[in-house]
Amino acid sequence: MPRSTNAEDYQRIATPVAAMPKDFPAGQHIPPHRHERGQLLYATRGVMRIGTTQGTWVVPPQCALWIPPQTEHEIHMSGAVAMRTLYIAPRAARHLPRDCQVIDVSPLLRALILAAMGEPVEYPRGSRGEAIAKLLLHELRAVPALPLHLPMPQEPRLLTVCRRLLNNPGGNTDIESCAAEAGLSSRSLARLFQRETGMGFTAWRQQARLAEALAQLSSGKPVALVAADLGYASPAAFTAMFRKCLGTTPGKYFKRA
């Protein structure tokens, strides 16, 4: 019997960890919603963008996003997405982060997520499914968070600037032009960025470009074209930024995926 792809069917079951596989076409948008359980979002194919009131997270295939219970969020699919979700009961999530976090998916964690998809949703005590669930919870406590979060401001003028940067991350937008559009001085805009997001203007814009780069690269677009599209002077300059943020080159990063 095919496993349900309705998230509601996984919220009130007895087992602490429930696994749901579901595929989505390119461009699909899941409107804002929340779950009783915490959610580990992982995709074996495609890039997801998840938005909450705290910001936006980009989740490429090598990564997963932890979403605590009752956190409202929406999801945008960049390319076709093969999503593999774990719903974790609040009592089992007590030792997991209280905020959303993008985490690195090790080969072991990936194997455990995929193995959980093959077990019964309501696995019995002492079963292989229970052993997988227990090891999953132990692994999730130890994985490192990754810098793939774009904090969104509340201040209306700065929010308009951030949305403009997200909509056109490769545009020739320096702090002076953004400040002029917002009716602010460059110094005032810089202060707002630091106060509202905890990041400087340049760092925030770089994160926005990295997010867009991951989405484009995951669809197979060549590095040189992505670099040009995002306003980098050369593929080498883009690769240097990518390595600084994620610790490796784009080619090696997606080869691992």
- The single-letter code of the amino acid at 219 is S
Domains 7-142 and 153-256 share a fold: no
Q: What is the DSSP letter of 220?
A: T
Does residue 256 have a pLDDT over 70? no
Report the pLDDT averaged over residues 46-56: 89
7-142 placed in CATH 2.60.120.280: yes
Report the pLDDT averaged over residues 10-20: 96
Q: Which two tokens stand for residue 226?
A: 């992505």
Does residue 1 have a pLDDT over 50? no
Closest listed residue to residue 73, CA positions, set 43, 100, 48, 52: 52
For 132-180, the pLDDT digits (tens) are: 999 999 999 888 888 788 898 989 999 999 988 888 888 878 899 999 9
Spatial distance between the Cα atoms of 66 and 86, rounded to a whole number of angstroms: 9
For 101-128, the pLDDT digits (tens) are: 999 898 999 999 999 999 999 999 999 9
- First-to-last alpha carbon distance for the chain, in angstroms, is 30
Report the pLDDT averaged over residues 70-98: 94
pLDDT of residue 172: 74
Closest listed residue to residue 75, CA positions, set 109, 108, 34: 34
Please give the distance of CA 51 from its chain centroid, rounded to a whole number.
9
Q: Which two tokens stand for residue 43?
A: 């995709």
Residue ranges of the domains in the chain? 7-142, 153-256
CATH class held by domain 153-256: mainly alpha
For 175-199, the pLDDT digits (tens) are: 999 999 889 999 999 999 999 999 9
Spatial distance between the Cα atoms of 157 and 181, rounded to a whole number of angstroms: 9
Quote the pTM value. Answer: 0.83
Does residue 2 have a pLDDT over 80? no
Distances (CA, A) of 10 to 19, 39, 141: 8, 11, 22
